[in-house]
Amino acid sequence: MKDVQNEPDHRNIDLTRVGIRGIKYPMNVLDRANNTQATVATVNMYVHLPHWFKGTHMSRFVEALNDYCADLNLNTFFEMLDRIKKSLDAPAANLEISFPYFMKKKAPVSGVPSMMEYTCKYMGEINGDDRKLYIGVRVPICTLCPCSKEISTAGAHNQRGIVSVTALFEEFFWIEEIIEVVESSASSEVFALLKREDEKFITEQAYSRPMFVEDVVREVTDKLSKDPRFTAFSVEAENFESIHNHNAYAYTKVTP
């Protein structure tokens, strides 16, 4: 049958990214406690389309995903990108995979277990001989306002927030290590299940560790900077303010 995608295009315009977005697929990822964890990933796949091609072959993206999703890890990630780049005769290829990741957490006093959800992302690119992979993690936290505590005769307002860390992957690290750094840098952690004694503990812990959104970003950055595995990363924090009609935000980026 006629292959329209391979027909020449005469407008002389390269397209930086062409591909598929938002396809959901079952996937296994590495898990520090259980070796692997089954999840459902949302996948974006792109190639650079030179100006002489009219279009790309979208089905080949799904074929590659189907072949690699069952055992997609940090090694096969680039194998999959190589496959996409080669099969589509492209100078560059990009792959973005986001997925929910679950960890079993015990409440701080009662010890009752529950499953905590985090959002993770793999973002990779092959451009010629250059290969880069970034690991992203979104971690929910709780912060208590230092200013509110200082000026109030009783109590202080607190709020839930999200810290997003995106790190260049050069040496192996676990997703859980990023999560632990972030949670230890907040006023308190967030849990899926708490009993009354746990709520008391967390409320008092947060009160004893007041944090601005700026403090959280600086704490996470300071801890990651002391680990030689993290040579390039960004840290972003957003607090969903409880007494303001806006969110508080801070961001920083560390480069080699």
Q: 31-64: per-residue pLDDT in tens?
A: 999 988 999 999 999 999 888 878 788 899 999 9
Does one domain contain both 158 and 65?
no
Does one domain contain both 14 and 37?
yes
Which CATH number do you get for residue 175?
3.10.270.10
- Expressed as residue numbers, the domain containing 175 is 107-256
Mean pLDDT of the region 131-151 = 96
Mean pLDDT of the region 195-223 = 97
Percent of the chain with pLDDT over 70: 96
Q: What is the pLDDT of residue 4?
A: 59
Does one domain contain both 16 and 59?
yes
Please tell me the distance from the alpha carbon of residue 107 to that of residue 88, in angstroms, as a whole number: 50
Domain boundary among 47, 67, 98: 98
Crossing angle of helices 76-87 and 58-68, in 10° steps, is 160
Long-range CB contacts for residues 113-118, cutoff 8 Å, separation at least 24: 113/193, 114/191, 114/192, 114/193, 115/192, 116/190, 116/191, 116/192, 117/192, 118/175, 118/179
Does one domain contain both 251 and 148?
yes
Domain boundary among 98, 125, 152: 98
The whole-model pTM stands at: 0.90
Q: In which band, very low, low, confident or very high, does the pLDDT at 1 lie, cut at 50, 70 and 90?
A: low
pLDDT at 202 over 70: yes
As a whole number, the mean pLDDT across the chain is: 93
Q: What is the pLDDT of residue 39?
A: 94
pLDDT at 195 over 80: yes
Query: By mean pLDDT, which of 14-28, 44-58, 166-180, 214-228 is the weakest?
Result: 44-58
Does one domain contain both 45 and 147?
no
Does one domain contain both 81 and 115?
no
Does one domain contain both 88 and 16?
yes
> How many domains does the structure of the chain reveal?
2
Does one domain contain both 75 and 130?
no
Does one domain contain both 94 and 114?
no
Domain boundary among 98, 123, 141: 98
Q: Would you give the DSSP letter of residue 187?
A: S
Does one domain contain both 79 and 172?
no
pLDDT at 204 over 90: yes
Q: What is the pLDDT of residue 55?
A: 78
Does one domain contain both 147 and 240?
yes
For tokens 């957003």, name the residue.
238
Does one domain contain both 138 and 210?
yes
pLDDT at 6 over 80: no
